[in-house]
Chain A
Amino acid sequence: MPTTDRARGRLAALLAPPLLWLVLAYLGSLAVLLLSAFWTTDPFTSDVVRSFTTDNFREILGTPVYRTVALRTLGIAVTVTLLDAALALPVAFFMARVATGRLRRALVVAVLTPLWAGYLVKAYAWRVMLGEHGIVNAALEPFGLRGPGYGVSAVVIVLAYLWLPYMILPVYAALERLPARQLEASADLGAGTLRTLGSVVAPAVRPALLAGSVFTFSLSLGDYLTVQIVGGRTQLLGNVIASQVTLDLPLAAALSAVPVALIVCYLAAVRRAGALDSL
């Protein structure tokens, strides 16, 4: 029918630019990245040589340092995600089910505002706080304790701080959507607080936790600035890639395929758990 043809034409015209952008600029660059991972460099000029080889991947898998760095990065991403989940649950619960009116709005603003502040500013603020004469050491001194200093712990703390809003917001939204009647129904049928938390609240929050963890996990895997600022000599995938970009671009591309592969695996696992349905 001519009308549907015309409607189809209009739809195509409407969708073509964003689709083109998505395919060419977004997926295209990923494809080029993956492709260049199979290229190599001239050892004398450092120029990229476009001949197919799997040497880069062999080098990554065969070199213990890369394996250690990859595992360390994965460990930090997992720790940051768990830490954020543990912090976000009580905060989101308080925001959604205890605080009301003005206090609740103030808390939402307090959670959102740091997202607008510059990433570098926040990371450097932590550098100052965690430094030798920083506020953390000053505060712990009376108890005979010292802060973690620069290193893996500092990276975990700062990343957990940076990505916390991405975990709080979905959990808060899920808890706010949970009807009070369902909590009452659970109590009415004989359930205590713990049972209600486990049987009614947890299932409602689980997809939100998984959705938030997609952010905290993938953002932690890809981060390379925080570790430079508060990580001391710690090496993560991000800064190994950054340091290889100018020396050996194909190797850097092959290295960056590692977090991409990890995230794809994670997304597949989360998808199977059904968390992406509500995203």
Chain B
Amino acid sequence: MTEAARAAADAARTTAPHAVRLTGVAKDYGPVRAVNDVELTVHQGEFFSLLGPSGSGKTTLLRLIAGFERPTAGRIALAGRDVTALPPSRRDVHTVFQDYALFPHMTVEQNVAYALTVRGVRKAERLARAREGLATVRLDGYGPRRPAQLSGGQRQRVALARALIDSPGLLLLDEPLGALDLGLRHEMQAELKRIQRATGVTFLLVTHDQEEALTLSDRLAVLDGGRIEQTGPPLEVYDRPASAFVAGFVGTTNLLRDEAAVRVVGAPGTYSIRPERIRIAPPGSVPGPGERCLPGRIAEIAHAGAHTRFTVRLEAGDDRLTVLRQHTARLPEAARTGAAVNLVWDTGDAFAVPG
């Protein structure tokens, strides 16, 4: 490669168009607006998540990008090309479905090679690439089996290999881990991340599991009621939620409104205090500089494995705050149900959220 060609290639990479660009996308089902005026940009090579509760429009958004649905309004561009009017077969996108949607009458190998078969790739090459794909998802030797002979986790891997076989510009994943049990889900999360790094394909994951979105994504968008509430890197969304909904949905939080805010935080408005930011101190302890300290009684203690969740009723106004402490954290001896305690937090940890 000459200097000029390399420079041109570099320039192409830095000015490469976005993997996904949605402008003003809306989708109506009869009188119901499932997706409302969505603006979204996903960068090349990014692991991006659409996070939201069921009915938030995240799956509809994914189906719009895949081409299974046509938007009521707005434009959809993939890699700089407007694909709004194109059918799924003519978009450089593959999907991993929630129920995997493997073809039951085909072998694993035939399933994985399907996209190549459709394009008329020679059989020898098809088989070689299917084996390669199966190796990537650690299913070497499973080629001749039928999907019915595989476990849920294995089917999941086959679906992944099938969708990645011809290195699409974008991979859509529709709650791919929802059907797996907890242990397998954690294992597959790590696998997804590894495969995404290894292939460099842009991943767009739809999930309602905030932990999954937070651990996997480079960036994520939180959806509610068909609208994007906030877009950003996981830590930013967690630490600085743009709305009360985001604060409540991404992680757990103590949300304080109006009079409760005045009583607890000392100012009017809507405030969020993360439960892990609150410390439990013995009664009568004195707050340090920049700390807020309120007396209360422990109403409830729930041991949830690695951490313990306390519900504390504050003396003033009967407000209840949730406090999360690591098992290893030092707690006052008297921290049991009904005990009087002081709750302490840095004033900076109570932050105002819009609405």
Seen from chain A, the residues whose Cβ lies within 8 Å of a Cβ on chain B are: 179, 181-182, 184-192, 195, 199-200, 203-204
Q: Which residues of chain A are near B162, meaning CB under 8 Å? A: 189
Q: How far is the CB of A185 from chain B (nearest CB, A)?
A: 4
**Given A181-B97, A188-B95, A191-B89: A204 touches B105 (CB 8 Å cut-off):** yes
Chain A residues near B87: list those with CB within 8 A: 187
**15 A-B pairs with C-beta separation under 8 A:** A179-B99, A182-B101, A184-B88, A185-B102, A185-B103, A187-B67, A187-B68, A187-B88, A188-B67, A188-B88, A188-B94, A189-B115, A189-B163, A199-B114, A199-B117
Q: Which of A179, A181, A189 is in CB contact (< 8 Å) with B118?
A: A189
Say whether B93 contacts A188, CB under 8 Å.
yes
- Which residues in A have their C-beta under 8 angstroms from that of B204? none
B-side interface residues, number (CB < 8 Å): 22
Residue of B nearest to A187 (CB): B88
Interface string of B67-105 (1 = CB under 8 A from A): 110000000000000000001110001110101011101
Complex-state Cα separation, A199 to B110, whole angstroms: 11
The answer to whether B88 and A195 touch across the interface, beta carbons within 8 angstroms, is no
Count chain B CB atoms within 10 A of each CB in A182, A187, A203 and give the residue with the most. Answer: A187
| A127 shortest CB reach to chain B, Å | 44
Interface flags, B153-167, vs A, CB<8A=1, else 0? 000000000110000
CA distance A185 to B97 in the complex (A): 8
CB contacts under 8 Å to A, within B27-60, are none
What's the Cα separation between A279 and B342 when bound, in Å? 71
Chain A residues, CB < 8 A from B93: 188
Contacts of A192 in B (CB 8 A): 89
**Does B6 make an interface contact (CB < 8 A)?**
no
A184, A188, A203, A204 — which one has the most chain B CB atoms within 10 A of its CB?
Answer: A188
**Are A187 and B89 touching (Cβ within 8 A)?**
yes
Residue B119 at the A interface, CB < 8 A?
yes
User: Given that A181-B97, A181-B99, A191-B89 are known contacts, is A186 also in contact with B105, CB under 8 Å in the complex?
Assistant: no
Q: Which 4 A-B pairs have the closest CB atoms?
A: A181-B101, A185-B101, A189-B115, A203-B105
CB distance from A273 to the nearest CB of B (A): 13
- A98 to chain B minimum Cβ distance, whole angstroms, is 17
Q: Do B94 and A189 have beta carbons less than 8 Å apart? A: yes
Q: Which residues of B contact A184 (CB under 8 A)?
A: 66, 68, 88, 95, 97, 101
Cβ distance B281 to chain A, nearest Cβ, rounded Å:
54
Which residues of B are found within 8 Å of A204, using beta-carbon distances?
A: 105
A153–B105 Cα distance when bound, in Å, is 38
* With A191-B89, A192-B89, A204-B105 as contacts: A186 and B114 at CB distance below 8 Å: yes
What separation, in Å, do the CA atoms of A182 and B99 have in the docked complex? 10
Question: By the criterion CB–CB under 8 Å, are B101 and A190 in contact?
Answer: no
CB of B119 within 8 A of CB of A188, answer: no
Cβ contacts under 8 Å, A188 to chain B: 66-68, 88-89, 93-95, 163
A146–B255 Cα gap in the complex (Å)?
A: 83
| Complex CA distance for A243 and B164, rounded to whole angstroms | 68
- Which A residues lie within 8 Å of B67 (CB)? 187-188
Residue in A182, A190, A199, A203 whose CB lies within 8 Å of B89: A190
Q: Which residues of A contact B99 (CB under 8 A)?
A: 179, 181
User: Considering the chains assembled together, what is the distance between the CA atoms of A182 and B103 in angstroms?
Assistant: 7
Residues of A within 8 A of B163 (CB): 188-189
**Besides the contacts A181-B97, A182-B103, A203-B105, what 5 more A-B pairs have beta carbons closer than 8 Å?**
A182-B101, A188-B89, A188-B93, A189-B114, A204-B105
A20 → chain B, closest Cβ, in Å? 38
- In the bound complex, CA of A229 to CA of B344 (Å): 97
Query: Residues of B contacting A187 with CB < 8 Å?
Result: 67-68, 87-89
**Contacting pair A185 B118 (CB below 8 A):** no
What residues on A are CB-neighbors of B66 within 8 Å? 184, 188
- Which residues does chain B contribute within 8 Å of A181, judged by CB atoms? 97, 99, 101
A181–B93 CA distance with the chains assembled, in angstroms: 16
Report the separation of the CA atoms of residues A195 and B117 in the bound assembly, to the nearest whole angstrom.
10
Cβ-defined contact, B89 with A185, below 8 A = no
Q: How far is A186 from B66 in the complex, measured between Cα atoms in Å? A: 12
Q: How far apart are B101's CB and chain A's nearest CB, in angstroms? A: 4
User: Is the CB–CB distance between B89 and A200 below 8 Å?
Assistant: no
Chain B residues, CB < 8 A from A189 = 89, 94, 114-115, 118, 162-163
What residues of chain A lie closer than 8 Å to B101, measured between beta carbons?
Answer: 179, 181-182, 184-185
User: Which residue of chain B has its CB nearest to the CB of A204?
Assistant: B105
Interchain CB contact under 8 A, B118 and A190: yes
